A and B are shown apart, each in its own frame.
Chain A
């Protein structure tokens, strides 16, 4: 396994009239080749901003600051826009949430798929078309030759998302960032599209960053998980560890909020909640960002800089509680 992507101390800031908004704060992580990394968190936690910052697609108002951004062991933090454009769509590709808004309504599916290939690889259109047909077939679209002539509005949501996946695969990228790829789809279609994505990832040996708010999706898809809150990574580790032994009170809170399915014995049980609201991201924060909503917060949380307590197997979390303390709290509330 090689490190496909390595991010060190990524910050994204917006200068607003009433101060500086810190959308992403000191985020460091890596993705191995042939691995699915899940990034999970609620709206506004900075997960999409992290994705856009890696692709250098942030709006002009945003300021990106990163101490190192390595793609295939090559520093890409200071590449010009033109050089980044060469990478994007070729070696790193992105799948967005709503295929209807990310496909161009006035060009046929074929034109849009072929454009990616022609732009990065050149060559004859016939060759690009052959590749498009074989990929549409691969993503499970029946009668691909006919589909190439159709326009986005003629396809269903599930088919459109498959086209987006095919488009991301046109140049066999090393890294795919999928930002909420199935949020707009029905549960049955979601299961199909995710299975397809996982199968293709294994087949091509790609690295995938899967961004979602759905804990069920990351649990079933990811090899490793990052949990983000208020612009920071609060917990990271192998998927099993995160779901079996969540150490950060926020991760624990999220898991308690889920309506439990199928095996639940009682109907009408109350769900767990996380009281309070996400703190404002404007200005500097001191101590733990989750302290004002945390059921176990004490004085130290609001003052101290927070240590990353480490358990085995690369499981890290950002909290002053020890592993034993925090797991004890979790077991108490679950049982």
Chain B
């Protein structure tokens, strides 16, 4: 049995939005009841459309956002019992756009050593030494230490962001769309680097991406998210070879691989993206689902065991539901 390093138990996060004067409030449930387990040294890919709650989930796991209900455990310990610095030593994040996640007025040296200064580690010389080691690790030349982010290319900036995330030697790194702001040739360099770092340092990644090809390339397991719920979670190879949930199938079908013969895929989804403030009854996906049955509109599907030790949330795979149809 492998060791679970990051776990989410029944995580909920709801926001109360004002609808205007004297109108009361409406509830937006961004994350509603998420269970996740990531084993040490593996990569969990998290996919889903924008607005499905991927980033809220990342913020909850980082402890930047307090869950409405449920808890996050790192190495079996609840993060609500840790202080901010302790949490930051265990889990770090790499953001999508290095242009906005790096301070344009600070040098690379200052950016990479900031976590060390906050945690009061080492003296000035030791910190500089650590920064140099980190640059070597992410494949940047030492001469960029004195550069400002503006002097660097997009790929180099993302390397600086990776160096900063790893300088505290965290166990878990959340990569939130780490390559979507980059060109194809730079994307492949960064993905190779992330893979090397995982092998060298034994890191665990949560890889959030809307680029399914990237997730397939990197992930050991994949979780598919739809409107605040994980609808299917399984081994990456199984998921890409035999997707079960209708939504997963549609997602995989929309990948545009560079094969001119295949033409454009038929997506069976309607145009209407559901309003997260007014969730449909029953299965959240049923208004867009090409295989919806009568039961889908009335009853919320329960989580049932899926392929390769995963889970799936769909009436199609629940025998009891099928029989009662």
Contacts and interface: CB of A to CB of B under 8 A. Distances in A.
Interface of A: 42-43, 140-142, 156-159, 162, 186-192, 194-195, 198, 213-221, 239-240, 243-244, 253-255, 257-262, 264, 267-268, 270-274, 277
A308 B323 CA distance: 67
Contacts of B259: 219-220, 243
A246 to B, nearest CB: 10
Contact of B216 (A189, A198, A213, A261): A261
Contacts of B260: 219-220, 239-240, 243-244
A262 B239 CA distance: 10
A140 B269 CA distance: 12
Interface string B261-274: 11111110101110
Contacts of A141: 271
Interface residues of B, number: 46
Interface of B: 49-50, 153-154, 183-185, 187-189, 191-192, 195, 210-214, 216-217, 220, 236-237, 240, 250-267, 269, 271-273
Contacts of B261: 240
Given A192-B269, A262-B240, A213 B183 contact: yes
Contact of A42 (B185, B253, B258): B185
Contacts of A186: 49-50, 210
A43 B183 CA distance: 7
Contacts of B269: 188, 192
Contact of A262 (B154, B250, B255, B264): B255
Which 5 residue pairs are nearest across A and B when measured between Cβ atoms?
Answer: A216-B256, A259-B217, A271-B188, A257-B188, A42-B183
A280 to B, nearest CB: 12
A188 B271 contact: no
Interface of A is mostly: helix
Given A186-B49, A270-B195, A195 B217 contact: no
B121 to A, nearest CB: 33
Contacts of B253: 191
Contacts of B252: 262
Nearest to A242: B260
Given A264-B216, A267-B217, A187 B183 contact: no
A261 B213 contact: yes
B271 A254 contact: no
Contact of B264 (A188, A191, A258, A272): A191
Nearest to A262: B240
